[in-house]
Amino acid sequence: MTAAEHRPALPDGLRDRVLAASLRARAAGRPEPAAPEISPAEAFSRAADAFYGMLGVLQAEDWRRPALRCLDVQGLVGHLIGVEEDVHRGLAGDPQVAQASHVESTQPAADCQAGRPPAETRAEWRRTIGHTLDLVHAVGDPGTEAAVHGMRFPLGMLLVVRAFELWVHDNDIRQAVGLPPAVPDPSALGLMTQAAAQLLPHAAARRGLREPTSVHLVLTGPGGGTWDIPIGHSPPAPAEVAIVTDAVGFCRLVADRTTPGRLDLHITGDQDRAAMILAAASALALD
Amino acid sequence: MKEAGARHVFPDGWPGIGLVGVGPCLVAGGRASVHEVGGTDALLAARLAAGDDHALAEVFDRLAPAVYSGALRVLGHDAAAQDVVQDVFVELWCHPGRYDPDAGPLRAYLTMQARHRAVDLVRSELRRVARQERSSRLEPGHPDPSPCEQMMASQTAAAVRAAIEMLPESQRRIVELAYFRGLTCREAAKAAGIPEGTAKSRLRLALAKLESMLDRQLLESS
């Protein structure tokens, strides 16, 4: 007889009682320890500060290194200058920038950096960031919608998406020049993972995933959390998939900077369905 | 579960993303443990830290029987053992970072937590019984406890008395003076005819032995 066979059965109702008491003490989904809450504007400001600091340590030759698409580092910073300028127009309600292509619309700003002293590019980018923050402050209400590059978001979500973009390009440049990758602080990363989880159904829809699925998404590590996300049209009993991976890796996946195969994933439920959802996660990446 | 966050809308037919009228897309967690993701204790700890209620249910299903039976063995009655199980799992859920996977298996951590809590309960019961005995001597008309209370008290008291009986005479004497006669350490020392420092030292040794004996019961059960 084994030790387990000696054990008395658990009393009826104990499981429900303990789980309910636990969830009353700490709601499901919330990471522990919880990172201090910050505003989307603060997350954007921190990402900009980190990016500016990273540019400050680059050597002159680093600015010429290939970074993304056909852009060198300086061109990529120029691309971001163009993005900020389009955001300024978006905040002003310009309908043209609302429908503009993220890459094509910013290409002139990227091209015109060629031959400039890097310090000028860096300073110009910083000025555009400052102007963005001034406009955000002037708008005030984080629920105010703004449309740019095919996205229409409340201002708060737009700033989180922009912080996400700055972090991703920060790492593009770091990779190009051989610097170690950066990770946002848990407060900022928490806003990014929240945005990534919120956008997952839309990414799946964009890739044509219509089959109803309930995704239990667990992002581990600082800035992580847990979400139950319905994907597709929801009948009474959709298929269920649980996906566990680390928060930073998932954000890199959403940004199209890694693939599902390179993540440390733990999946239960329909493996094929999970694979399709993970493959679709990057569908909203703008590059 | 995290809130849905701000509503966001992607106008249909736009270049870029092109989604329509998206409402809040996140829902409350629902009941736990539909699937077992499993994995190492480190992964379970990371999932608990991420607020994964499925992980909590998995840990409960896997380890609650050991935690419960251990607590039951020490405490001797079901209601108190259930309380220990609840305390242990609520603590794990609220402070998952206190478990260090590098320090040992989750099973050992939880049974250790249960042992500490059970022993604390026994200690507090010991103090309560001693207070009650003193009180009943002073107030003979004290109302009788219910049959259930009598049974719980008698089971706990039997376990504690058995442990006390195993103490060396000198230590047992100090425990009886301090806990059952309600004397201060100085008074107990005087009654036993020993210096106060010696009395304190014997009391510390006695309590450590009592804890160890009660711990052993739990270890044997788990």
- Distance CA(A104)–CA(A279), nearest Å, equals 25
* Residue that finishes a domain, picked among A144, A166, A182: A182
Identify the pLDDT of residue A206. Answer: 86
SS (H, E, C) B137-193: HHCCCCCCCCHHHHHHHHHHHHHHHHHHHCCCHHHHHHHHHHHHCCCCHHHHHHHHC
Please, is A9 exposed, middle or buried when counting C-beta atoms within 10 Å of its C-beta (0-12, 13-18, 19+)?
Answer: exposed
Domain boundaries, chain B: 1-30, 38-139, 166-212
Does any domain span residue A88? yes
User: What's the pTM value of the predicted model, to 2 decimals?
Assistant: 0.76
Does any domain span residue A58? yes
Same domain, A280 and A226: yes
Q: Please check whether residue A267 is in contact with residue A253, taking contact to mean a CB–CB distance below 8 angstroms.
A: no
What's the CA dihedral at A147, A152, A157, A160 to 10 degrees? -60
Residues B29, A150: C-beta atoms closer than 8 Å: no
Hey, is the C-beta of A40 within 8 angstroms of any chain B C-beta? no
> How many folded domains does chain A comprise?
2
Same domain, A83 and A166: yes
- Distance CA(A82)–CA(A88), nearest Å, equals 10
According to DSSP, the residues that pair with A66 across neighbouring strands are A72
Hey, is the C-beta of B208 within 8 angstroms of any chain A C-beta? no
Residue B25 C-alpha, separation from nearest chain A C-alpha, in angstroms: 6
Q: B67 — phi, psi (to 5°)?
A: -65, -45
**Which residue in A161, A244, A267 has the most chain B C-beta atoms within 10 A of its own C-beta, making it the best mutation to test that interface?**
A244
Same domain, A159 and A194: no
**Per-residue pLDDT reduced to its tens digit, A106-127:** 889 888 988 899 999 999 999 9
Does any domain span residue A116? yes
The helix/strand/coil state of A43 is helix
Cα(first)–Cα(last) distance of chain B, in Å? Answer: 34
CATH of B166-212, one of 3.40.50.170, 1.10.10.10, 3.40.50.10540, 3.10.20.30: 1.10.10.10
Same domain, A47 and A174: yes
Same domain, A103 and A161: yes
Identify the pLDDT of residue A27. Answer: 95
Whether the per-residue pLDDT at B30 is higher than 50: the answer is: no
Same domain, A118 and A251: no
Q: Please check whether residue A143 is in contact with residue A131, taking contact to mean a CB–CB distance below 8 angstroms.
A: no
Identify the pLDDT of residue B23. Answer: 29
For A:263-282, CB contacts with B below 8 A are: 266-269
- Domain range enclosing A174: 40-182
Count of CB contacts below 8 A, A vs B?
211
**Per-residue pLDDT reduced to its tens digit, B120-173:** 888 887 777 777 766 666 665 555 666 655 665 566 666 677 777 778 888 888
Amino acid at the residue B23: G
* Residue that finishes a domain, picked among A167, A182, A197: A182
For B:178-197, CB contacts with A below 8 A are: none
For B:93-122, CB contacts with A below 8 A are: 93-97
Does any domain span residue A74? yes
**Per-residue pLDDT reduced to its tens digit, A10-57:** 999 999 999 999 999 999 999 999 999 999 999 999 999 999 999 999
Does any domain span residue A211? yes
Does any domain span residue A6? no
**Which residue in A165, A216, A217 has the most chain B C-beta atoms within 10 A of its own C-beta, making it the best mutation to test that interface?**
A216
- Give me the CATH number covering residue A206: 3.30.1050
What's the pLDDT band for A220 if we cut at 50, 70, 90? very high
| Residue that has been written with the tokens 């002003």 in this structure | A92
Please, is B172 exposed, middle or buried when counting C-beta atoms within 10 Å of its C-beta (0-12, 13-18, 19+)?
Answer: middle
- Higher pLDDT: A74 or B175? It is A74
**Within a 10 A sphere around the Cβ of B50, how many other Cβ atoms?**
29
**Per-residue pLDDT reduced to its tens digit, B85-129:** 999 999 999 999 999 999 999 999 999 999 889 888 888 877 777
- Distance CA(A56)–CA(A136), nearest Å, equals 25
Whether the per-residue pLDDT at A210 is higher than 60: the answer is: yes
Residues B16, A151: C-beta atoms closer than 8 Å: yes
ipTM, two decimals, is 0.89
Identify the pLDDT of residue B13. Answer: 25
Q: Which fold has domain B38-139?
A: Rna Polymerase Sigma Factor; Chain: A (1.10.1740)
Identify the pLDDT of residue B165. Answer: 78
| Closest to A193 (Cα-Cα) out of A241, A149, A254, A148 | A254
What lies within 8 Å, CB to CB, of B204 at 6+ separation is none
Whether the per-residue pLDDT at A1 is higher than 80: the answer is: no
